[in-house]
Amino acid sequence: MTSPAAAPDPAALLAALGAVWSPDFDAYASGQLDASQVRCVLCGHAPCDCPPFGTSEYFALTDRLHGRTRGGGA
């Protein structure tokens, strides 16, 4: 048996963040892309290259994703 917490599920993590799917998710869902090729919705990298959860860098990414950037930069 596997623990639900043993290996974080990317989909569950995204759902917890407010469910903004990767632009590649449709391709993944239709079988055109392997999960490892789906760009992360936060960092835009495939595979995900996000900073560790809970770091200021991580929250900067989530803030940007949710349109809470201050200053309007890239």
Segment lying near Zn ion (by CB under 5 A), choices 11-19, 22-30, 34-42, 52-60: 34-42
Least distance from C-beta 47 to Zn ion, angstroms? 8
38 is an interface residue for Zn ion by CB under 5 A? no
C-alpha to C-alpha distance for 50 and 44, rounded to whole angstroms:
9
Q: How many chain residues touch Zn ion (CB under 5 A)?
A: 5
C-alpha to C-alpha distance for 22 and 15, rounded to whole angstroms:
12
Residues contacting 68, CB < 8 A, separation 6+ = none
Binding residues for Zn ion, rule: CB under 5 A, are 40, 42-43, 48, 50
